[in-house]
Each structure stands twice: as C-alpha cells, then as structure tokens.
Amino acid sequence: MIVAEQGGEGEDAMSFKSLLRLSTAVCALGGVSGIAHAQTAPASGGDTIEEIVVTSGKRAENVQDVPSSVLVVTAAGLERAGVRDFDDIVKVAPSVTITKTSQPANNSINIRGIGTYAYSIATEASVAVVIDDIPQAFQAAAFSALVDVAQVEVLRGPQNTLFGKAASAGVISITTQAPTKTFTGRAEVMATNDHEARVQATVSGPISDTLAFRVAANYSKYRGNIHNVATGDWLNGQSDTTLRAKLVWTPTDDWSVTLSPYITRTLASCCAGAEFFLSPGVTAGKNNIPQATILQGIVPGENNRKTAQDVNARGNALDYGSGLKVTRNLNGFTLASISSYDRYYLYDRQDTDGTAFDFSVYAPTAPKGGSGNGGYFKINSVTQEFRLTSPDEGRLKYVAGAYYSRTSSKRYFVRGSNELGTYNGLASLPTTNGTAYSAYIANAKSENFALFGQGTLGLTETLDLIAGLRVNKEKISYKFFDLGNKISYGDPGCSTKSPTLNIQTCNDDTAVTGKVGLRFQASPDFMTFATYSRGYKGMAYDLTSSLTTRTLLTTGPLKGYPIADAIASQQPIDPETVDSYEIGFKSTLLDRRLTWNVTAFYMNFQGFQAQSRDLITNQNVLNSIGKVTSKGVETEFSAKLGHGLSVNGGGSYNKAVMNDFPNASCFAQQTVAQGCVGGLQDLSGKPLFNAPEWNANINALYERQMAEGYTGFVNAGFRWQSAVIFNLLQDPDSVQNDYGIFNLSGGVQTDRWKLTAFVNNLFDKSYALTKGRSAQWNVSQTTNPTTNAVNWKPARDSERYVGARFSISY
C-alpha cells in the first residue's frame, strides 16, 4: 500500500481549515437571518414549505433536524424534474454522478466524486442503494425504472454505522408508496418523439379492517440513440416491465407486518458507442483494413450516432424477491425485524472488436465474423436485520440492532466468437485490441455479521451529542475456473495453491466504524452541526479474465511466473477506509417560506480501490491507491415565493483527487512528453474520473388557477456541471467539457387528471456519458502528424426531444 507523505497531509489540513472558516461564517450569517425573520407575520398555509420526513437515521425525522448532509426529493419533485429512471437522479442531486461503461454490471454510482469502477463480482460498491430498508446486493439491479416511489433520499458521505460496509461514500435510499386506507387508483401514459413510451398503473386500498394492499405495474420502452447500420437495430435502448406489491397487516395497534414482493424484467441493448473523432487515413486491425470498409458510410463527429458492429450490445436482466418487515410497539419502543430475499440475473454481450468486419478473411479457420464477449451474472442474497428504536421523548434517543447478510455471486464469461464460442482453436483474431480467447466461471461468497447503534443525547436544551458505532465481521471466499486452460483457484474450497504460487481464496476481517458529533439548535428554525465519521469498504478479489492469462512475466519480483498466478497471489485487495468531517447548518427562514442548508465536508480515503489498465501485463487490474481526498461545500434550498411560484435547487463544489498514486499505469499511446516513463506515470494530485468540481441545478414551478377546478402550470429546470475526465489514467481524449441542460414543461390539471407537455434539452446541447480512445484503430502519438481515434456514448438527453404525459386518479 502506498503511504501518503507528510507534506500532503498538511496541505489538506490547511485546505479544510479554510472550508471550516467559510462554513462558520455562513452559519453565523444564517443564524442572524433566522432570528430576524422569526419576528415577521406568519404566512398563509399554501405559501409555506411542508415538513419532509426522512429515515436516514433509521428513524422518522424532519429532514431539517437531521445533523448530516441529506438531500430528499418527494414524488412531486421527481415528477417535476422528469425523474423516471434511476439514472435520472442526477437531475436533482448535484453530488451524484453515474458512470456508464461497457455493460450494466460495470456502471458506477458516485457521490462527491467517489464510486467504484470494477469488473469483478467480488468487489463492493462505494454507494449503497437501499429500497424500502433493503440494500441492493448488486448495484446493476438499481438501473431500471423508478416505480411508485414516494421519495428519494441521498445521504452524502460515509453511512457505514447504520447502513453497513458498502456505504463508504453514501447511500441512495428509495421509499415506495404505502397502501392507502381507502380505495385509490392511478394510471399514467407517456410518449416522446424519440421513441419512448410508458404505461403505469397503481391500485391501493383496504381488504379488511386489518389488511391493506397496494399493487403498482410499469411498462416502459425506449428505442435507443445509436443506430447500428450493420444490423439495422437501435442500441442503448431499454424496456422495463415491473410489478411491485405491498401487503400490510395490522392485527392490533402494536403490531404491523409488511410483505413487499417485486419483479423487474429488463431488456436492454446496452452499451454501445460511436466514433467521435478519427484521423484521416487511419486503418483498423493488424491487416490495415481501410476506414471505408469499417465505417460503412458513417461520418465520425460530435453529432455521430451511428455504429457498424456485427454484435448488438445486450444487457438483459431479471430481478425478483421480497421484503418482510415486522414491527412491534413496546411501550413507546419499536422492535423491528426486516428480512429480504433477492435473485438477480444479468445476461450481457458486447462486440469486442467494435466492427462488423469478417476477420475470417484473414484467419480462415476462425468462425465467420468477429469477436464478442459476455455471458451471465447470477446473484443470490438474503439479509436479516433486527432493530430497536427508542421513543421520541426524553434526552436520549437511539437505534440499535444486529445485521446479517449472505451473498453468493456467479459470473460466466467468454471472450470468443460473436456467438460466445471459441475461435476454433485460434488464440485470438487479427484485431488491434484484446480479442485473446478467454472463458471462465467465477464464484464469490460473502457473509457479514454486524452489531450497531447510534443515538442522540441532549446535553442541554439546545445542544445534543451524536454518537454511533458498528462492529462488522466479514467472511469472503472465491472459486475460479479457467475453462480454456483447465486451471482452477480455490477448488476445493479455500485451496491455497495455484499452479505455481501460494494464494488465498478465503479471508475474513473485522472492522469498527462509527460517528460522533454535535448538534446545536440556535433557534427553532436554525440548526448547526459538526460530525466525524469513520467509513469502511471490505476486501476485494479481482476475478476477471486476467486470471486466465498464462503468459509468463518477464520483469519484476514475480518474473517467470504466469500473469494469472501473480495476480492471484496478491489477493485479496486491502480494505478501503475513510475519515470524514462535516460542518454545516440547516435553516427554515421567512416564516417557512424558505429552507436553506449548507454543508462543508472533507473525506480522506486510504487504500482506495479502483480499476485501471496495467500496460505492463496488458490486463485490467484492481488497484489500491494510497490516498484519495474529496472536499468541498454543498447546498440546497427550497422557496415558496407566493402567487403560485416555487423554486428549489442545489449545488456543490467538490475537489476529488488522487493525492498519492506515483506508480500508476500509462494510458494508451501516452508519450514521454505526457509523463509516461517505463510504462508508468505519477497521478498524484490528478482528479478522479467523472467527478465534476462544480455541479448545480435549479427548478421553478409556476401554478395559476385558470377556471374553477382547473389549474395551469409551467415548470422550468436547468442543471449544469463543470468538465470531467472519464479515464482514471487521465487520457485527455476522455474529457467531457462543461455543459448545461434546460428542460421545460407545462400543462393543466384538476383534482382527477393531469396533462403535461415537455421538451427536454431545449437548447439541444450535446454531451457524453463516457468518452475515450477507440481500441480497434491503428493510431500513433509518436508519428508526425499524430493520429487518433475517439469513441463516445451520447447521453439519452444529449439531443432535444419532446413528449406528453397524461395521468388520471380516483
């Protein structure tokens, strides 16, 4: 593990002190404002901001009373901002970014610039996704339609004390709607001019005096935004079919039992890119295939949304399971049992060579076509939590509990023919990128046992002490079967021998995480807080095709050993830890017409786990970076300005950098002039991928009664972010410049129905979800002139599109 130098620590300390001074000054200013406005006349009820209850502390609390950085968006706010899928959360949460890559299992959810980009099934996410108190075992399962959602809470910073070891950067908590006491129903249809269609329906009501139900169904389909001219199909589209239900039984006032089964089926043509830039004359493959043959009439450029591949991208998934929550009221205490069971299957396939060229022309014994890669994931998980919550009265309020989870994961992978078969005995195809044949089955298991507790003690009427602790014991193991070379690791169970080196395939670790802080209630409408949190992300195994590479190392301490054995002998990857500091305030001003919250933060990660390309072994490997920091300020506000006008928004300044990474690999074609020496570069001080320094959004709604029973409305939203880099190794061709997206909608509504017309990306601003060098082209940065090839994945709303939505309820 790389150790940070003392000088860097001092600079970070000084930088955070500056943030503290700034935040303290703002807190003082906010305190004066809060007291002054408390003396004005009360506003009418329709012009005041309603209280929003969150469960970020595992108990129901007013979000303005929670001493941490929490963003909450209600169902109405999600609808106003056009948040329909999980990916859309970035529209309302400035601290959240999502990195899209080659297939759904490799996507990353980031908070404050921190996330996970790893190919292995034996690595954890940095951001936990929780739905109705149940954590998602596999992050890819979150990328589907948001159905019957009551609210979304974004908990920024480490949340390990209450949410476990996969929450070192934060939590996105989704709460779905509860059954109603009377019969209700709602239906909605939507269509857009870029070929998206949705149908949703919800029915809820009582079955008896003690039993109530709710059923929500959704079907959505989006064609996609990349046209494959070779197959005639559209890529990057997705269709979701979701069914969610809740059955609540309350046999007495003290007992409640909630059963919440669900199933989601996703058919996705994810994830494909298009040529963004290509130098004239550049050829493809080892046989220098002309551009015209590969492109088939496609013109590379920033508006190009066409590709030519003989394998359509695929990311089809099935996710089903159920939660069971039983609560008992014991003289003001609440005892809860929360159980869950989930099965997730993902079937993926991508075009490895990125073309529609038939390489059997140059390799006659190879199957017709090119190279495809993919297979399937199978994830089984169960969780059990017991939780005791104290009454809301008294000086001491706390929650304590025990948690258990068990997850088993399986990955079957093939890099071979288009049909995921062999190359008929060939080791690879004559392309320029990595098409070496590989086939494996990886199995990973993880068990977690934890005891946790967090409470608030009133020291005085205005000052509270916050403290929490979690002790987590994890056991992990793996088995890996190299099908091509007929070699295995970890079989029989916990085997410690590879063909050439000693390895570890079963490991365990115990970690203690916690939180401590102070909350000061300066007035009923103004609260300040300061907290320290210790976070943790568990050990990891790098179970990828690198473990099928039998090429012998020619340099280094393991010279002469196969690459696969060398990688296995260095596992597991060390745990990741974080020390996080926050100071901020929450205010309710202008007689509840305005809420304004500000938080300054500093997070120091040690052993940060990230994946990048190692050009010495030419493998994607999981790195443990010595030190990463994320520091900045984030804010959100909500205002009722009267006369039917309301505005809300937020923003963040965040500097997420790798402080100590001197021996990083070079990016492809990196030259000595660009800092690459002997295949290595120093990335100390460089930014993390997809971590904008500045990010902001604002949304304004104007409503006016048109006639008795009819209300017209106009909603405008704008979000902007500064430039990002999509490559950890700092490839300059992976930069996305700053951009802003403006959305506009309007319509009319009554108590029963609502009609909305909308235009997204009104000013037709193009931007990428990810961008980087194209591997299939023969480019060079050392020739004169230099040549280059860049591929991009345009975002769904990187082109202007319009649509309409109609809903009716009873």
Least confident range of 106-120, 213-227, 357-371: 106-120
- Alpha helix positions (H), 108-253: 160-163
Residue 335 lies in a domain: yes
Q: Is the pLDDT of residue 10 over 80?
A: no
User: Mean of the per-residue pLDDT values for the chain?
Assistant: 91
pLDDT at 515: 98
Pairing of strands 314-330, 255-268: antiparallel
Range of the domain at 42: 6-809
Please say whether the beta carbons of 135 and 119 come within 8 A.
no
Q: Amino acid letter at 725?
A: I
What is the rounded distance in angstroms from the CA atom of residue 484 to the CA atom of residue 437? 8
What is the rounded distance in angstroms from the CA atom of residue 505 to the CA atom of residue 541? 9
Helix, strand, coil % over all residues of the chain, rounded to 5: 10, 50, 35
Residue 61 lies in a domain: yes
148-182 per-residue burial string, b: 16 or more CB within 10 A, e: under 16: bbebbbbbbbbbbbbbbbbbbbbbbbbbbbbbbee
Per DSSP, which regions of 418-462 are E strands? Answer: 438-458
Six-digit token string for 755:
């009609």
pLDDT at 3: 33
Q: What are the φ/ψ torsions at residue 590 (nearest 5 degrees)? A: 50, 45
Please say whether the beta carbons of 106 and 119 come within 8 A.
yes
pLDDT at 5: 34
pLDDT at 718: 98
What is the rounded distance in angstroms from the CA atom of residue 219 to the CA atom of residue 243? 9
What is the rounded distance in angstroms from the CA atom of residue 356 to the CA atom of residue 231? 9
pLDDT band at 556 (very low <50, low <70, confident <90, very high): confident
Please say whether the beta carbons of 430 and 438 come within 8 A.
no
Six-digit token string for 456:
């608030």
Q: Is the pLDDT of residue 118 over 90?
A: no
pLDDT at 501: 92
Q: What is the mean pLDDT of residues 398-407?
A: 98
Residue 1 lies in a domain: no
Residue 520, H or E segment: strand 506-523
Q: Is the pLDDT of residue 207 over 80?
A: yes
Residue 667 lies in a domain: yes
- Convert the pLDDT of each residue in 141-161 to its tens digit: 999 999 999 999 999 999 999
- Convert the pLDDT of each residue in 223-276 to its tens digit: 999 999 999 999 999 999 999 999 999 999 999 999 999 999 999 999 999 999
Q: What is the mean pLDDT of residues 435-457?
A: 97
Q: How many CA atoms lie within 13 A of 319 on its CB side?
A: 24
Q: What is the mean pLDDT of residues 69-84?
A: 95
pLDDT at 39: 31
Pairing of strands 645-660, 619-642: antiparallel
Please say whether the beta carbons of 558 and 491 come within 8 A.
no
* Rounded percentage of the chain residues whose pLDDT exceeds 90: 82
pLDDT at 622: 83
Residue 677 lies in a domain: yes
* CB count in 10 Å sphere of residue 795: 22
pLDDT at 297: 95
pLDDT at 616: 54
Q: Is the pLDDT of residue 374 over 80?
A: yes
Residue 37, H or E segment: helix 6-37
Q: How many CA atoms lie within 13 A of 564 on its CB side?
A: 24
pLDDT at 117: 67
- Convert the pLDDT of each residue in 502-527 to its tens digit: 999 999 999 999 999 999 999 999 99
- Convert the pLDDT of each residue in 665-708 to its tens digit: 888 889 999 999 988 899 999 999 999 999 999 999 999 999 99
Q: How far is CA 327 from CA 113, 136, 724, in A?
A: 37, 22, 46
Count of domains forming the chain: 1
pLDDT at 612: 63
pLDDT at 434: 81
pLDDT at 253: 95
pLDDT at 619: 64
Q: Is the pLDDT of residue 7 over 80?
A: no
Residue 413 lies in a domain: yes
Q: Is the pLDDT of residue 20 over 50?
A: no
Give the DSSP letter string of 271-319: ---EEEEE-TT--BTTTTB-HHHHHTT---STT--EE--SS--EEEEEE
Q: Is the pLDDT of residue 334 over 80?
A: yes
- Convert the pLDDT of each residue in 580-628 to its tens digit: 999 999 999 999 999 999 999 999 999 998 776 555 555 667 878 789 9
Six-digit token string for 678:
């002997």
Residue 754 lies in a domain: yes
Calculated CA dihedral for residues 119, 123, 127, 132, nearest 10 degrees: 110
CATH code of the domain containing 617 = 2.40.170.20
Residue 566, class by beta-carbon neighbours within 10 Å (0-12 exposed, 13-18 middle, 19+ buried)? buried
Q: What is the mean pLDDT of residues 622-639?
A: 92
What is the rounded distance in angstroms from the CA atom of residue 704 to the CA atom of residue 746? 12
- Convert the pLDDT of each residue in 743-799 to its tens digit: 999 999 999 999 999 999 999 999 999 999 998 999 998 888 899 999 999 999 999
- Convert the pLDDT of each residue in 409-422 to its tens digit: 999 999 999 999 99
Closest by Cα among 266, 346, 278 to 308: 278
Closest by Cα among 84, 317, 312 to 220: 84
Residue 476 lies in a domain: yes
Q: Is the pLDDT of residue 298 over 80?
A: yes
What is the rounded distance in angstroms from the CA atom of residue 518 to the CA atom of residue 458? 10
pLDDT at 44: 44
Residues, the chain: 810
What is the rounded distance in angstroms from the CA atom of residue 94 to the CA atom of residue 288? 45
405-428 per-residue burial string, b: 16 or more CB within 10 A, e: under 16: bbbbbbbbbbbbbbebeebeebeb
pLDDT at 617: 57
Those residues whose C-beta lies under 8 Å from the C-beta of residue 720, and which sit 6 or more positions away, are 694, 695, 696, 697, 738, 739, 740, 741
* CB count in 10 Å sphere of residue 807: 17
